[in-house]
Amino acid sequence: MWADIMKVTYCTDMDKSVIVHNFEKRGWMQVGPEDDWNFYWAVIQSCRSIFSVEAGYRMNDNQIINHFPNHYELTRKDLLVKNIKRYRKDLEREGSPIAERMDGPGKYLYLDFIPITFVLPADYNMFVEEYRKSPQSTWIMKPCGKSQGTGIFLINKLSKLRKWSKEARNPLNPNLSKESYVISRYVENPLLIGGKKFDLRLYVLITSFRPLKAYLFKLGFCRFCTVKYDTSVQELDNMYVHLTNVSVQKHGDEYNSLHGGKLSVQNLRLYLESTRGKCVTEKLFANITWCIIHSLKAVATVMANDRHCFECYGYDIIIDNKLKPWLIEVNASPSLTSTTVNDRILKYKLIDSIISLVLPPDGIPDVRWNKCPTQDAMANFDLLLDEELAAQDDRDNCNGKPKGLTSKWK
């Protein structure tokens, strides 16, 4: 009917076959960003331009784009920390039991899912105060606006930070002096498999922030370091030991291009059930869900909730040896580069599933749609949270768990 009459047009400024092939298989027609498009898969810079006040661009009802205007509230490392800290304080003021504190300042019983973090240079004095409480600990420094492991280093002595600070103020390093960093307590007791450190890369799709509608891609994976974990001072600068980023590990001598140092979440789950038991494994994945949902709630009030937008975020989570998950960072443009055959299949399914979920049943972008997909349209995604459905469940006085919450990872 209408889908047959209207030819869906798309544009993208990302040269990725997993994106283009998904559009082409739907019979969509490619156009340029200056033309009349319905679906724009854009890089962050293009979105920034479209949503800028200077551009004066107004999207119509049949246009959608793959980023929210101020996605950086979640994906910039310093802003993520700031928003989570504000969220905790807001819940405390409201008297919410979720914000219950543990013994000691700044310790939370339920909202303790990010490592202790400070923004430098602004929080330098607060960091030094915290550092002196446990001078034997290791800290990790990350530039706020960079990704793929760029500019990251570890410190275990205050003198090393002072040296960095001195270099940052050097006028001969203009780029470094303008860059703000976050410094976080390093998770020194990561869960190891085969003696190697790994993290989880999970894909979380948001179709709305108010009400919050979030979905978790079923086919997440673990990313492994190529060198066995070692906390000795000699290995402190060896990023093949400490950083799981594929962009870092693929340059190592031990990198295996067949499996790419990756393990599926499903296989991780089976491994944990066999070694730690089903009960604690279920609890771990429930805690991962909790961590994701509350990180999203922390930014929901400040996010520009444009109905033309959706976004797929790449969540990086480290599990420690007590099976506690730690949110390390959130990526606005998770890599769509395929390093293995399985990786290509996974990312093709990811894009295919995203397109199916963000479009109405007739396949035509329409911001007037209520963004409640059918079960079939959700494909490889599980519902994490739909506040609209949960509110409806409450109004209907349903018994048991609200339908607006996932049960898959509980």
Q: ∠ at Cα 344 (359, 12), nearest 5°?
A: 45
pLDDT interval class at 161 (50, 70, 90)? confident
Task: Please tell me which residue, 146 or 337, carries the higher pLDDT value.
Answer: 337
Chain position carrying tokens 């544009």: 11
The dihedrals phi and psi of 218, each to the nearest 5 degrees, come to: -70, -25
- In the three-class reduction of DSSP (H, G, I as helix; E, B as strand; rest coil), residue 249 is classed as helix
Band of pLDDT at residue 398, cut at 50, 70 and 90 = very low
Question: What residues contact 75, with CB distance under 8 A and at least 6 apart?
Answer: 313, 329, 330, 331, 332
Q: 214 has which bridge partners?
A: 206, 385
Per-residue pLDDT averaged across 151-175, rounded? 74
Q: What backbone phi and psi angles, to 5 degrees, belong to 250?
A: -65, -15
Q: Averaged over 274-286, what is the pLDDT? A: 97
Residues 369-392: tens digit of each pLDDT:
999 999 999 989 999 999 988 877
Given CA atoms 117, 123, 128, 133 in this order, what sign does their dihedral have? negative
State the average pLDDT for the chain: 88
pTM value is 0.90
Q: Which residue has the tokens 């400024």?
A: 13
CB 180 within 8 A of CB 271: no
The more confidently predicted of residues 333 and 239 is 333
Confidence of residue 410 (pLDDT cuts 50, 70, 90): very low
Residue position matching structure tokens 């006028």: 171
Q: How confident is the model at residue 104 (pLDDT cuts 50, 70, 90)?
A: low
In this structure, the number of other CB atoms found within 10 A of the CB of residue 270 comes to: 12
User: What does the H/E/C string look like for 319-371?
Assistant: EECCCCEEEEEEECCCCCCCCCHHHHHHHHHHHHHHHHHHCCCCCCCCCCCCC
CA-to-CA separations, 89 to 70, 111, 318, 376, 404, in angstroms, rounded: 22, 11, 25, 40, 26
Of 99-108, 118-127, 261-270, 295-304, the poorest mean pLDDT is in: 99-108
pLDDT on residue 175 = 52
What's phi and psi for 182, nearest 5 deg? -110, 145
- For residue 64, pLDDT over 70 is answered with yes
Give residue 2's pLDDT band: very low, low, confident or very high (50, 70, 90). very low
Tens of pLDDT, residue by residue over 168-215, are 665 555 555 567 899 999 999 999 999 999 999 999 999 999 999 999
pLDDT tier for residue 233 given thresholds of 50, 70 and 90: confident
Average pLDDT over residues 256-268: 83
CA dist 288 and 285 (Å) reads 5
